[in-house]
């Protein structure tokens, strides 16, 4: 699933290509693409026609496009969603779900989604911050993110440190890939109890999270297949810089020990057995 760097790369593309443009028509090709918008596909199309997109914003892994009506288009890419800018005359993509045309006659905006886990919706009055995503924490690249609050909340959480990094009510935008990469840089195993970490240790980890996310944004995110691309259909290149994720059995770039893979929440965690030893005591859940 796309994480913060991938979604931020898409947001930057949308900001360049659709901001200040007036929507002419909206065509919903598959109802699942707007399933979270309860009024339905016809209303989705009707309420957006004639509206001007003012900006492109992001909260964690969610995108929203504020409109001149005070409403917003809210989007989540899911596992395979793509927001593509395409010439109007370009052939339809196989998994085209929604098409936006604009009254300037320029490029279309197309939502393409092979697995249809993603989707778009209209948030009434959501231009500043859609109510549907207001519960999601700020991400560490947000200038209003509070390091002090994050450190204190993490130590109170009494969980494993990797689970804390993936908790979108604590810190948003960090997923499995970048959590593993940050933990490797911090020399921490993901099962380390958060209550056993000092404030300075959590602060250092947060710094590594920011470094990894920032470097990934510069590379356009991480693409393991054709499902994640930017608005121009181009893949990201950060997969070439990964130190642990997906590198089971390969030598640690720091000490040479083969990278291990462990089961984690129906997914996999990757770490170095030498640089990131397992904790002797497990985290105690908060009661």
pLDDT, one tens digit per residue, over 163-190 is 999 999 999 999 999 999 999 999 999 9
**Mean per-residue pLDDT for 250-272?**
96
Region 14-21: mean pLDDT is: 97
Tell me the three-class secondary structure of 15-59, residue by residue: HHHCCCCEEEEEEECCHHHHCCCCCCHHHHHHHHCCCEECCCEEE
Query: Please, what is the angle between helix 176-186 and helix 199-218, to 10°?
Result: 130
- Encode pLDDT of 212-242 as tens digits: 999 999 988 887 666 677 788 877 878 888 9
CA distances from 275 to 21, 268, 281, 283 (A): 51, 18, 18, 20
Provide the percentage of residues in the chain whose pLDDT is more than 90.
86
21 confidence band (pLDDT: 50, 70, 90): very high
- The response to whether 115 counts as a known ligand-binding position is yes
- Cα 185 to Cα 253: distance, rounded to the nearest angstrom: 11
284 is in an annotated binding site: no
Q: Which domains does the chain have, with CATH numbers?
A: 4-133 (3.20.190.10), 147-271 (1.10.8.50)
Give the strand pairing for 81-86 and 72-76: unpaired
Q: Which of 39-43, 225-229, 264-268, 279-283 has the highest mean pLDDT?
A: 39-43
Q: Which residues are catalytic?
A: 2-3, 61, 267
- Tell whether residue 16 is among the known ligand binding residues: no
Q: Which residue has the higher pLDDT, 3 or 69?
A: 69
Query: Residue 109 — very low, low, confident or very high, per pLDDT cuts 50/70/90?
Result: very high
What is the side-by-side strand order in the sheet with 81-86? 23-28, 96-102, 108-113, 81-86
């Amino acid at each position: 699933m796309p994480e913060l760097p991938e979604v931020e790369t898409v947001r930057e593309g949308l900001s360049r290509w659709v901001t200040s443009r007036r929507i002419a028509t909206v065509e919903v090709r598959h109802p699942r693409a707007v399933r979270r918008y309860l009024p339905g596909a016809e209303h989705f199309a009707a309420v957006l026609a004639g509206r001007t997109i003012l900006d492109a914003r992001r909260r964690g892994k969610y995108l929203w496009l504020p409109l001149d009506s005070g409403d917003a288009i809210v989007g989540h890419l899911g596992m395979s969603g793509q927001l593509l800018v395409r010439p109007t005359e370009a052939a339809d993509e196989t998994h085209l779900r929604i098409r936006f045309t604009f009254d300037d006659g320029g490029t279309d905006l197309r939502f393409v989604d092979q697995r249809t886990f993603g989707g778009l919706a209209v948030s009434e009055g959501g231009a500043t911050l859609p109510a549907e995503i207001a519960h999601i924490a700020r991400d560490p690249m947000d200038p209003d993110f509070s390091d002090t609050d994050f450190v204190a909340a993490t130590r109170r959480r009494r969980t494993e440190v990797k689970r804390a990094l993936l908790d979108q009510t604590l810190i948003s935008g960090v997923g499995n890939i970048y959590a593993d990469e940050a933990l490797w840089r911090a020399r921490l195993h993901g099962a380390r109890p958060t209550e056993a970490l000092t404030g300075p240790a959590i602060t250092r980890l947060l710094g590594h999270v920011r470094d990894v996310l920032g470097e990934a944004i510069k590379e356009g995110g991480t693409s393991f297949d054709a499902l994640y691309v930017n608005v121009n259909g181009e893949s990201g290149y950060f997969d070439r810089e990964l130190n642990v994720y997906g590198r089971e059995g390969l030598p640690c770039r720091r000490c040479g020990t083969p990278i291990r893979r462990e089961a984690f929440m129906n997914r996999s965690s990757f770490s170095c057995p030498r640089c990131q030893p397992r904790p002797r005591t497990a985290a105690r859940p908060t009661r």
